[in-house]
Structure 1
Amino acid sequence: MRRIGTHNVNGIRAAMRRGFRPFWDARKADVIALQEVRCRIDDLPLDAFDGYHVTLDPGQLAGRNGVAVLTREAPVRVRSLADAAVAITPGEEPREVPAERIVGRDLAPFAGEGRYVEVDLADAPLRIGSLYLPKGAAWPHEEGTEEKYLRKMRFMRGLARALTASKREAAADGRELLVMGDFNIAHTRQDLRNWRSNQKSEGFLPEERDWFGSVTGPRRMVDVVRSMHPDDDGPYSWWSWRGQAFANDSGWRIDYHLASPRLAKAATEAHVAREASYEERISDHCPVIVDYDTSALG
C-alpha cells in the first residue's frame, strides 16, 4: 500500500509555522507532491523534509511558484521543464542535479518558473509529477487580462501533449503515471460551491473546463478523487483566506490526483484533509491524499 498526497503549501516556511510537519508526520505518506514552495534554496527549512528525498524545481521567480516531490528513496530519474533540479538527501545540503528536459514549444517559455517536475520512483513502478498550473485570467470578461489568459492556454496545450507522451513512455517502461497538484481549474459544477456566480471567472471558464475534460477519461488520465466520490459536491481543496469562505465551505476543488487508468483502479481510499477550523489551516489549500494498493502493479 502506498499513501500519496499533494499539498499546495503557499510558502513552505509559512506552512512550517502553521503545522506542516506534524500534519504529515501523522499521515506517514510515502510520497508527497508540493506546490508553491516559494523559497530560495539557501532559505529552505530543511527540517520540513526529514526522512524524505526531495526533488525540487524552485524556478527563478523570487518568492513565487516552486514544485517538489518528496520520496522515501532517491528517484531513479528526474524530468523537468528546466534542465536541472535541486536534490535534497536526508542529512545533506541541497545540491543541483541534472534533469531531463521536457521539451515542447508551448512549455518552453515556462522553463524558469518552477511549475512541473517529474520523478520515477526507485521502490515502485510509478512515475510521479507535481504540477502548479498558471492561474490565468478571466479575459475577455476582465479588461487588460488577455496576456495572462493566453499564457495559461498555452501552458495547457503544452501540458496536454507532455502528459500524453509521459504516460506512453512510462507504460513502455512498465510504470504507471500519477500527476498531482494545483490545476487552478474546477472541472464541473460539483467542483465549486458558488458555480453560478463564477461562470466568467478564471478557473471555471468553459474553455478551461473543456481542456480538463480532454485530458481526463477512462482511457486517458483518471480524476481519482472524483472517481471515488462520483456524487459528492467537492470535496473542495481551496478556500479564500478572506471572509467566511472556509467556515461556510464555499470552496473550489482545484487540487487533483490524475492517474493512468491501471493505477486509478488501485486506489483504495481518497480524501481531502480539510482542517477542523480556520485557525488550524496550514495553507489556503488543504492536502489531497489517496491510498493505492500497488502490489498488483509489478
Structure 2
Amino acid sequence: MPRIISANLNGIRSADKKGFFNWLAGSGGDIVCVQELKAQDADLSPLHRQPPGYPFSAFHCAEKKGYSGVGIYARQQPDRVIEGLGLPEFDAEGRYLRADFGPLSVISLYLPSGSSSEERQQVKFAFMAAFLPQLEALIAEGRDLVLCGDWNIAHKEIDLKNWKGNLKNSGFLPEERAWLSDVFDRVGFVDVWRRLYADIPGYTWWSNRGQAYAKDVGWRIDYQIATPALAARATSASVYKDEKFSDHAPLIVDYS
C-alpha cells in the first residue's frame, strides 16, 4: 500500500530547522511531494537531497532566488522524470515536477498564488488557462496519476472556515472555484480527500495573522487530485498537525 505525502514547506531550509526531515524519516511515506522550496539547487544540503530512506530525489527550482520550487522524494527510482510544463514563463517559477513509477505517475505541483497583487492574480489565471489542456492530456494518458500540492484554491464552502469573508479574495474567487469544478466534473479528476471525507473540512493552511492556527481558522488548499481508478484505491487520509514545519500541514494519503 503506497503512502503518498504532499507538503508545502514554505522554505526547505526553514522546514528543516523545524524538524521536517526528522519527521519524514518516520512518516512511512513512499513518495513525498514538496512545494515552495524557496531555494536554488546550490542551496540544497546533502540531507535535503537524500533524506534517510529516500534514495531518489528530484527538484525543479525557480530561477528567482528564495522563491517557489517543487521536489519529489521516493523510496525507489522512477522510470522517468519530467521537469516543467514546457511553458517557459511558468517553468521559470519552478511549479511542476513529474515522476513515473511503472503504471503510476506522481506530480508535485505549486499553483501560483494571486493574493499579493492584482498582477499576480492575472498570472494565476493565465497559469490556470494554460494548465487546463495539460490536465486533459494527462487524464487521456490512461495512467494512474496523482497531482499533489498547493493548488491555492479552496473549492467549496466546507474548505475554508471563514468562507463568507473571502468571497472576493484570491483563493476563493468564483472563477477559481469554477475552474476547479471543471477539473473534477468535466476533465474527470477526483479530489481524494473529499471522496473519502465528505463532511470533514481537512484544512491544510492557516494564516500567520491572529490566532488562526490555534483556533483552526484554516483553508484546504493542498490536495491530492487523482485519476478515478487511483482515487478509488485511496483507503485513508490525514493532515499531520502534531508538529508545525510551515504555515501548511502535510497531507498524507494511503492507497491500496
TM-score range, shorter chain: over 0.9
In the alignment, is the contact (CA less than 8 A) between 1:78 and 1:117 conserved in 2? yes
In the alignment, is the contact (CA less than 8 A) between 2:146 and 2:224 conserved in 1? yes
Residue 68 (structure 1) aligned to one of 68, 71, 94: 71
In the alignment, is the contact (CA less than 8 A) between 1:219 and 1:261 conserved in 2? no
Q: TM-score, normalised by structure 2?
A: 0.94
Residue 197 (structure 2) aligned to one of 221, 229, 238: 229
- 1:70-109 to structure 2, matched below 5 A, reads 70-81=73-84, 102-103=85-86, 107-109=87-89
Report the counterpart of residue 7 of structure 1 in structure 2.
Answer: 7
Deviations 1:93-127 (A, max 9, x none): xxxxxxxxx34xxx442121101111101xx4210
Percent sequence identity is 43
For 1:66, give the aligned amino acid. G
Instruction: Indicate yes or no: 2:209 matched with 1:246.
Output: no
Report the counterpart of residue 182 of structure 2 in structure 1.
Answer: 214
Report the counterpart of residue 128 of structure 1 in structure 2.
Answer: 106
Q: TM-score, normalised by structure 1?
A: 0.81
- 1:180-191 to structure 2, matched below 5 A, reads 180-191=148-159
Report the counterpart of residue 44 of structure 1 in structure 2.
Answer: 44
Q: Structure 2 CA distance, aligned partners of 1:4 and 1:40?
A: 25
Name the SS of the counterpart of 2:194 in structure 1: helix
Name the SS of the counterpart of 2:78 in structure 1: coil
For 1:3, give the aligned amino acid. R
Which is higher, the Rg of structure 1 or of structure 2? Answer: 1
Name the SS of the counterpart of 2:158 in structure 1: helix
Report the counterpart of residue 223 of structure 2 in structure 1.
Answer: 256
Q: How many equivalent pairs are there?
A: 253
Deviations 1:211-266 (A, max 9, x none): 0100014971100001111022x110000122200010000000000000000000
In the alignment, is the contact (CA less than 8 A) between 2:136 and 2:187 conserved in 1? no
Flag structure 2 segments of 5+ consecutive residues without an equivalent.
Answer: none
Report the counterpart of residue 268 of structure 1 in structure 2.
Answer: 235
Flag structure 1 segments of 5+ consecutive residues without an equivalent.
Answer: 82-101, 139-144, 294-298
Report the counterpart of residue 27 of structure 1 in structure 2.
Answer: 27
Q: Structure 1 CA distance, aligned partners of 2:19 and 2:246?
A: 10
- 1:186-197 to structure 2, matched below 5 A, reads 186-197=154-165
Shift in Å, 1:26: 1.8
